[in-house]
Each structure stands twice: as structure tokens, then as C-alpha cells.
Amino acid sequence: MFGLKGKSFLTLHDFSKQEITYLLDLAAELKAKKRMGIKGELLAGKNVALIFEKPSTRTRCAFTVACVDEGAHPEYLGKDDIQLGHKESVQDTARVLGRLFDAIEFRGFSQQVVEDLAKYSGVPVYNGLTDLYHPTQILADFLTMKEHVGTLKGKKFVYIGDGRNNMANSLLIGCAKMGIHIAVIAPKTLWPEEAHVEVCRGYAEIEGSKIIITEDVEEVKGADVIYTDVWCSMGEEEKAKERVALLKPYQVNTELIAKTQNKQVIFMHCLPAVKGNEVTEEVFEAPYSVVFDEAENRMHTIKAVMVATLS
């Protein structure tokens, strides 16, 4: 569908609203099939390399289970298992793995590495997270949002906290393309890059969605979704004390939830969460918190991406 067979999943910049919608619909179908206990064979005979420079719970487990559910073999390759970018260039590693595997997942630091893997391997490459983007997470977020809010277009999505990380970048792209109004609430020093925002404004203009970048926490009013992420991404641990002081006013707590004035609001987080920093224990464990539905949906949406690009 939509010519997705053989296509890499590196950033949502590369996918249209129609393609994203198709992947979400396919994920919902695959989720229903799994719930009914129907074993799949859509990836039978396929071998998928899973490269991890950064540790992971959800991404690693989601890719592994998704592969096995549909008959594929996942092969985990940690940073000490292969020579990627050290004794062997990324280009050479890509060309070797492309001869041995049907697809490659990469979770690490540099977006350029995942782009080069796609350029030189000759097989679909999936971005499991880089410093710039986290596109598989956005699919899981949108599937969860559809399950709990009903629709995407016209809803108000608020991301609060570190506004220049990979989650904020990816949510801006996804929301703009899907017609979701998005507000990024963060201190000015942590706003997303203006060039990136301008590209997303172009997507938003086509779909009629609004993008707001602000320091004002009152902008949560009317939100259908409140979303946050850790205040220090992997590799930024030395900035923890500074970030906590800067972002404390942007904590998701019951007072902030009340400011939405929406009794149907849901709370989302890509996990893992540092409770007491970006979100309180009370909010995290509240009935309106859907973080574990979101975590499960990583697997269903990742499965959809692999089925759409490999089967």
C-alpha cells in the first residue's frame, strides 16, 4: 500500500498523512489479531538486525516480539557485538548487513548513522531512536490517542518540558501532518530549532493545524493530551541538576492537569519516567494516565511498519 514495500522508516518527514494513517490502521488490525490469538506469518522467513548503541526496554522488546509474532527472526547486535563506526565504517557495515538481513533497526545517537545505513544497505532501515528523531514512538502515541480520544484531527496536544529533544521534534512533525493542534511549552532556552518549526508550520498549513511554541503553562487549557518526557536525555546526565532547576515549573502535576479544564484529558509519556521530576507519582498512576497502553502500542505499530515495508 502507498508503495511502502522496501521503504525505510527514518523520520516522519518522509511519510504523508495518508501513509501514517495506513500504518495506524494496519497496527490496529494487527493488534486485534494478536488479541484474538491469531499467529501471523506476514514476515515468515525474514531476518531483522537490531542494532543498539543505546540501551532500551520498549524498543528492543517491541521489535523482538513483533518479529516473532509474524514469523521473522530478530538478531540483537549491541554496541560491543559489531564494529559499527569503529573498526569498520558505517558504510561497510551497512553493505555487509544488507547482504545478510532483510531489514535493519538502529537505535543510537547520530541521525546520520541511520541515514547512512539506509543509503548503503539496500534494505529497509528503521529508526528506533536518534538524537534528532523517534518516529516509531509517535506512531504508538497516535494509536493510543485514537483509542482513548477517538480521533486525531482537530484535537489539542500539549508537549511540556524539554522542547528541543527528539520527542518534541518528532511530535511537531507528526501532529502537524495529522491535523492535530500542538503546543510546545518550554523555557526559551529549550525551544525547538526555529528552522524545524518552520518546516512543520508548512505541514500544519496544509492540514489546518496550529503550532504554538510558548513558555506559558496556561496554554494547557483545553488540552486533550498532556505529554512529557525526561528532562535529561541519554548522554546529558551531567546537566541533570541544571535541568531540574530550569524545568521544575513545567512539571506535570495535578495542578497542571486541572488547568486543562478538560475532564477527559489523558496523560502520556514515552517512558522511562523520572517520577518527581517531569511528572508526579500521582499523575503517573492516575486513571487518565495511558502510559502503559502507549508502551504496548510500540510493538503493534512497529509490527505494522515492518509488515508494510517487508511483506
Active site positions, annotated: 107, 134, 137, 229, 270, 298
Residues 3 and 8: their CA atoms lie apart, in Å, by: 11
Q: Which contiguous run of DSSP H or E holds residue 174?
A: helix 166-178
Nearest to 302 by CA among 60, 89, 112: 60
- Residues 130, 115: Cα–Cα separation, whole Å: 11
Which positions ≥6 away from 247 have C-beta within 8 Å? Answer: 161, 162, 186, 187, 190, 231, 277, 278
Helix 166-178 with 17-35: angle, nearest 10 deg:
100
Q: Which of 137, 81, 87, 89 is nearest to 117 (CA)?
A: 89
170 neighbors 184 (Cβ within 8 angstroms): no
